[in-house]
């Protein structure tokens, strides 16, 4: 994306980023100038020049076009623009050793068939350790003419690969005339409990399926099947048709070069030298050499992989290898260039948000920042622009690491803003909670990759709603009120706060009057409803469950007891009930009855406190009397059937086996099982 440029003349080492917040330096439109007072030029020819105020021509900051910004720059290009690679390889970064080996072998054989310069594979681009790795992948997804998707359990479990698939499907849906994209899928493995997004169903029907008749084939045989099925089609999309460079003979002399590289950049020779230095026996080194294990594959190696695939039967050797890998990674983690890895593990501060916006929206961002400050919320944002995307991220994203939420300002300027694009993707990579504030409905014109990331994230309508009302909703989402004056108004207030927060895709479609069938509908009877019964001590975990359910087109409802902390408690806000703070709400019990009658299932979030609560007894008794299917999910481990629970609760729950979500590992493992059970309940209602 970035092209190196050599600028004529010697300039003082002052960048436009240095004083970005200086109001005298804020530009009009897209023009950008920096005034430098009292600085003497350092050219030898002008050593006797008197000091005076002058406007110096400087490189434009990252993301500003010198043509459209009005900046007059004399440049001499020294690097020719490379032809863009047209075939993208989409795989899960979390893939296991065997799956990674399959992807690597498939790519290698495709490149051997004169596609060496046409295939974009992040391992070969040597960007896997870059802070902009995620955005580089997504940019390539948006540019490619064809893509190969290696579908598997890990593919659908990893957000990065799912985003790539959604981006490609979005491009197909738009029926691009200038650059139509072709998608070729390879199904490597797929478990019965794997939750597959509905949009991927068309890909599975046409995929090269390795899970049935080829399930017992060797890795080499599976690779041959894929090459035979895809090679002819992929050749049509190639632009360069270049043969691969001749293979480099293995370096028999150990030079120590591996110590200057990161693990993921190690070649097979580097790995062999590292193993030799560790004192690993030649038999085991030879086994890894025959399997062509390099640093990329080493990163996914587990104890079981070493036993079953590499024949390393010595427990001491396996333990030594694992320990040394961790030691090496820990050293790499401390390197200055790995600031992004340290930022990812940094602890966030409460009531702190990071604002993502285009620099032309600086006034809007400053106003929002001041309004949030009045409400006790600290808002930070980028302060410097830098000269490249990596520098921009390095200058500003450590601040992002301190925030709990990342708030994206959606305006016309945000549409094609590289600042907004890179900060959104970096925030998602860091695992931050994303929240869009829609000042302009630009959904239909958003980049496909941004749609994939933000589509299911919550959003607030600042375009058609009153500013102060939307600001209250934003405040409540970031910093829920603990006390509300007047118990009577409590439920109405919370309903209003909940209904003002919806997934961006739905909010944009609703605002434009184009509600689609595949979006969450919030009218009675049109979408499967789930009643969630839980105890307030597990609100955050229930919120995570609710997000998974809503992403599968379910509408969730739960009551909020006046005696509990007034946070949004599993309430999806996707129903069509409209409340006013001036209206007297119906009783809590009547709401429970009405919404449970409309639900096709009752989800019970089991904890020891829940089993002893009044809401547990009342909700389960009501569900049983209404003959509603009951699905217990265990958020904290309890013996089953639960001991110490009231007898009527035990009688109801003993008939329903629970789904264990009591820790993070089981949560990720069993959420697909929960969704599958709900799907069966919904289809049979």
- For the chain, what percent of residues have pLDDT higher than 90? 42
Residue written as token pair 């080996």: 101
Average pLDDT, integer, range 232-256: 79
Average pLDDT, integer, range 22-37: 35
Q: What is the pLDDT of residue 522?
A: 39
Contact between residue 135 and residue 418 where contact means Cβ atoms under 8 Å apart: no
Class level of CATH domain 257-334: mainly alpha
21, burial (CB in 10 Å: exposed 0-12, middle 13-18, buried 19+): exposed
> Structure pTM?
0.66
Contact between residue 38 and residue 105 where contact means Cβ atoms under 8 Å apart: no
Confidence of residue 684 (pLDDT cuts 50, 70, 90): low
Q: What is the pLDDT of residue 283?
A: 93
Average pLDDT, integer, range 626-631: 85
Lowest model confidence (mean pLDDT) among 61-65, 70-74, 658-662, 672-676 = 70-74
Contact between residue 475 and residue 376 where contact means Cβ atoms under 8 Å apart: no
Class level of CATH domain 347-514: alpha beta
Contact between residue 601 and residue 631 where contact means Cβ atoms under 8 Å apart: yes
Kindly report, residue by residue over 68-96, the tens digit of the pLDDT: 444 444 444 444 556 688 999 999 999 99
Where in the chain is CATH 3.40.50.10140?
87-235, 347-514, 524-576+587-685
Backbone angles phi, psi at 20, to 5 degrees: -60, -35
Kindly report, residue by residue over 386-426, the tens digit of the pLDDT: 888 889 999 999 899 999 999 999 999 999 899 999 999 99
- For the chain, what percent of residues have pLDDT higher than 70? 76
Q: Are strands 54-55 and 35-36 parallel, antiparallel or unpaired?
A: antiparallel
Q: What is the pLDDT of residue 37?
A: 32
Would the pLDDT of 19 be above 80?
A: no
Kindly report, residue by residue over 505-544, the tens digit of the pLDDT: 888 887 765 444 333 343 444 556 888 888 877 777 888 8
- Tell me what the pLDDT averaged over the chain comes to: 79
Would the pLDDT of 628 be above 90?
A: no
Q: What is the pLDDT of residue 528?
A: 65
Name the β-bridge partners of 557.
531
Contact between residue 595 and residue 524 where contact means Cβ atoms under 8 Å apart: no
Average pLDDT, integer, range 249-267: 81
Q: What is the pLDDT of residue 521?
A: 40
Kindly report, residue by residue over 333-342, the tens digit of the pLDDT: 999 989 999 9
Q: Label each residue of 123-156 as H, E or C.
A: HHHCCCCCCCHHHHHHHHHHHCCEEEEEECHHHH
Residues 188 and 660: their CA atoms lie apart, in Å, by 28
For domain 524-576+587-685, the question of CATH label 3.40.50.2300 is answered with: no
Q: What is the pLDDT of residue 422?
A: 94
DSSP code of residue 253: S
Lowest model confidence (mean pLDDT) among 52-61, 165-174, 486-495 = 52-61
Lowest model confidence (mean pLDDT) among 39-43, 270-274, 339-343, 625-629 = 39-43
Confidence of residue 443 (pLDDT cuts 50, 70, 90): very high
Q: What is the pLDDT of residue 596?
A: 81
Would the pLDDT of 11 be above 60?
A: no
Would the pLDDT of 30 be above 50?
A: no
Residues 231 and 241: their CA atoms lie apart, in Å, by 12
Cis-peptide into 100, omega within 30 deg: no
Kindly report, residue by residue over 197-223, the tens digit of the pLDDT: 888 988 998 999 999 899 999 999 999
Helix or strand holding residue 381 (H, E): strand 378-381
Residues 57 and 431: their CA atoms lie apart, in Å, by 39
Q: What is the pLDDT of residue 99?
A: 96
Q: Which of 32-36, 55-59, 145-149 has the highest mean pLDDT?
A: 145-149
Q: What is the pLDDT of residue 179?
A: 62
Would the pLDDT of 578 be above 60?
A: no
Kindly report, residue by residue over 180-192, the tens digit of the pLDDT: 799 999 999 998 8
Topology classification of domain 87-235: Rossmann fold (3.40.50)
Residues 290 and 320: their CA atoms lie apart, in Å, by 21
Strands (E), 152-242: 182-187, 208-209
Terminal-residue alpha carbon distance, the chain:
52
DSSP 599-657: -SEEEEEE-HHHHTSHHHHHHHHHHHHTT--EEEEESS---SSPTTS-HHHHHHHTTS-
pLDDT higher for 639 or 21? Answer: 639
């Amino acid at each position: 994306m970035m092209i190196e440029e050599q600028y004529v003349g010697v300039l003082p080492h002052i960048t436009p980023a240095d004083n970005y917040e200086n109001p005298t330096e804020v530009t009009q439109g897209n023009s950008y100038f920096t005034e430098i007072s009292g600085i003497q030029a350092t050219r030898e020819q002008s050593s006797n020049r008197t000091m005076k105020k002058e406007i110096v021509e400087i490189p434009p900051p990252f993301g500003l076009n010198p043509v459209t910004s009005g900046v007059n720059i004399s440049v001499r290009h020294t690097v020719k623009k490379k032809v863009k690679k047209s075939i993208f390889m989409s795989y899960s970064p979390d893939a296991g050793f065997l799956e990674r080996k399959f992807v690597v072998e498939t790519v290698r054989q495709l490149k051997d068939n004169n596609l060496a310069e046409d295939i974009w594979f992040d391992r070969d681009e040597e960007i896997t350790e870059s802070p902009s790795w995620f955005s580089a992948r997504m940019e390539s997804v948006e540019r490619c003419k064809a893509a190969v998707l290696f579908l598997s359990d890990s593919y659908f479990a990893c957000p990065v690969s799912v985003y790539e698939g959604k981006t490609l499907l979005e491009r197909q849906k738009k029926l691009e005339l200038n650059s139509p994209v072709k998608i070729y899928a390879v199904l490597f493995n797929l478990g019965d409990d794997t939750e597959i997004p509905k949009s991927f169903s068309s890909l599975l029907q046409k995929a090269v399926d390795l899970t049935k008749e080829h399930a017992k084939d060797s890795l080499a045989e599976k690779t041959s099947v894929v090459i035979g099925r895809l090679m002819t089609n992929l050749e049509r999309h190639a632009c360069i048709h270049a043969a691969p460079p001749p293979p480099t003979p293995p370096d028999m002399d150990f030079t120590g070069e591996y110590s200057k590289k990161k693990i993921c950049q190690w070649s097979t020779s580097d790995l062999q030298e590292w193993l030799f230095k560790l004192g690993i026996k030649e038999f085991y080194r030879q086994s890894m050499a025959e399997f062509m294990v390099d640093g990329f594959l080493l990163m996914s190696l587990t104890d079981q992989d070493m036993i079953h695939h590499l024949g390393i039967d010595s427990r001491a050797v396996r333990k030594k290898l694992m320990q040394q890998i961790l030691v090496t990674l820990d050293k790499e983690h401390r390197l200055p260039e790995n600031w992004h890895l340290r930022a990812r593990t940094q602890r966030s501060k409460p009531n702190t948000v990071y604002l993502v916006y285009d620099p032309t929206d600086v006034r809007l961002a400053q106003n929002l920042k001041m309004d949030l400050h009045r409400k006790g919320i600290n808002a930070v944002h980028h302060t410097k622009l830098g000269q490249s995307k990596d520098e921009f991220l390095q200058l500003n994203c450590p601040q992002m690491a301190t925030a709990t939420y990342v708030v994206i300002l959606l305006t016309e300027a945000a549409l094609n803003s590289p600042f907004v694009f890179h900060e959104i993707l970096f925030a998602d990579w860091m695992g931050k909670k994303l929240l869009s504030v829609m000042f302009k409905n630009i959904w239909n014109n958003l980049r496909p990759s941004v749609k994939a990331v933000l589509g299911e994230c919550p959003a607030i309508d600042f375009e058609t709603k009153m500013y102060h009302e939307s600001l209250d909703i934003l405040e409540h989402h970031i910093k829920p009120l603990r006390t509300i004056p007047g118990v009577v108004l409590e439920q109405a207030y919370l309903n209003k706060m909940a209904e003002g927060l919806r997934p961006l895709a739905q909010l944009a479609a609703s605002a434009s009057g184009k509600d689609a069938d595949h979006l969450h509908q919030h009218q009675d009877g049109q979408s499967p409803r789930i009643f969630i019964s839980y105890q307030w001590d597990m609100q955050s975990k229930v919120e995570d469950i609710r997000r998974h359910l809503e992403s599968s087109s379910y509408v969730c409802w739960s009551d909020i007891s006046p005696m509990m902390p007034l946070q949004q408690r599993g309430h999806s806000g996707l129903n069509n009930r409209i409340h006013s703070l001036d209206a007297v709400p119906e009783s809590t019990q009547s709401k429970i009855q009405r919404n449970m009658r409309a639900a096709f299932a009752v989800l019970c979030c089991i904890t020891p406190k829940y089993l002893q609560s009044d809401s547990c007894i009342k909700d389960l008794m009501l569900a049983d009397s209404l003959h509603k299917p009951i699905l217990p999910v265990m958020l904290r481990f309890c013996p089953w059937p639960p001991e110490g629970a009231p007898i009527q609760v035990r009688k109801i729950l003993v008939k329903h086996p629970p789904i264990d979500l009591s820790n993070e590992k089981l949560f990720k493992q069993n959420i697909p099982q929960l969704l599958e059970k709900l799907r069966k309940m919904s289809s049979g209602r």
